[in-house]
Structure 1
């Protein structure tokens, strides 16, 4: 049997539960891993809430929480090539599967080999935040000498986006609370604190000519406020606000194609996923509550080899 943490119906934290299940088997295009570490993301509780559910589908509860993990391959689907039992990998959960479990089913096309220089904790932090940040920067065509404003810089995607843009030679500015200054400056970015004055006025003092591109992680009014700083709205990408197209930008959910490239940069010491909180598997509920609080710095990872909180 394999232990998992999931939910028995769509809703709030009250729907969450531990349960045992048979060790899962992979579909033709899937892998099963023995999980070493699990990345915690806002999408975890958004999926649990039912906000992303297909109204025509009949879910087979209980469902496992989570969308990303790292671990060791224990089974390979019939159509999968390039992976073998015993490989150390990191990846995204296959459809209708989750990652808060001792064994997880990953989609092979969204899975990458873990470089030996990376820990399993680091690897678990990359498929969502690293892959998404990489795809956004590709979409924005960020190159050396340009300026990027990250609206909501303190979380996982913002942390990765700042470092990846900096590695490309861009100057990065990030909107966040004043308390995030040490973290933001450690990324090589300039903080624009929303709680210390008008963000637009501060940016115009820093960059009178505006910014070249905007990565939005907040949406709503704050996105529309900073959008005035850019001359070409086509160079706005939001991963949280589908209504960004109303102002000429692009909505992007996530991406995984860049994960091997991001992992290589982490292995080379050029990028740090900033895992600032880790929890043992027994405290998966507390890890998700911390994420759901909306006040997370950096990345939260659940460590299946950890027995007490770090």
Structure 2
């Protein structure tokens, strides 16, 4: 996951209802981690719980206080899937010597304007990025996840399929965060 997460540690997933967020939850739970995950929609906290999240959080742009109420010293690791707008708050949720892995940009904002590392990064919190693929996972971990997915023991979350005629609706659903899981467009 790019965060050096170990069994028994805590992981915050910012963007927990995304397909990647749901998959990361399953992997982290398999490792024995406690998972906190965010959603912008309070109606989706039950979906997070159903996918194994220990502490679902409603994300209004600032979750650091809520995370620190649950884990006073800060989480051991955080997976940032929303992007640059929430990155400073995600960094604030993380303990000294913890790691934030920046790997998603659901917000569609790609750069940190005026980045000044000394002011931006909390003392002792590590920031890394991940843009790899399945080959980066240990083979046994990946195979175990694939086997459990094939048997239906775990799922990737709901998949929403749109026809070519529904692409405008799919785009609105994506931009407005109306759906949990993966959105897929099919062509003829």
Q: Counterpart in 2 of 1:292?
A: 175
- Which sections of structure 1, spanning at least 5 residues, go unmatched? 1-135, 306-310
Among 260, 271, 279, the alignment partner of 2:154 is 271
1:229 equivalent in structure 2: 93
1:154-303 residue pairs with structure 2 within 5 A? 154-177=17-40, 178-189=42-53, 190-195=55-60, 199-232=63-96, 235-239=99-103, 240=105, 243=112, 246=117, 247=121, 248-257=126-135, 258=137, 261=143, 262-280=145-163, 282-302=165-185
Distance 1:279 1:198, change over 3 A: closer
User: What is the CA distance between 1:250 and its match in structure 2?
Assistant: 1.3
Shift in alpha-carbon separation, 1:174–1:140, aligned structure 2, 3 A? same
TM-score by length of structure 1 reads 0.47
Instruction: Tell which structure's C-alpha radius of gyration is larger.
Output: 1
| Residue pair 1:213, 1:230 contacting (<8 A) in 2 also | yes
Cα offset, 1:158, TM superposition: 0.8
Counterpart CA distance in 1 for 2:76 and 2:11 is 6
Query: How many correspondences in the alignment?
Result: 167
1:140 and 2:3 correspond: yes
Q: Please, what TM-score do these two structures have when normalized by structure 2?
A: 0.73
Distance 1:201 1:175 in 2: 13
Q: CA deviation at 1:150?
A: 0.7
Question: 1:46 maps to what in 2?
Answer: none
Gaps in structure 2 of 5+ consecutive residues: none
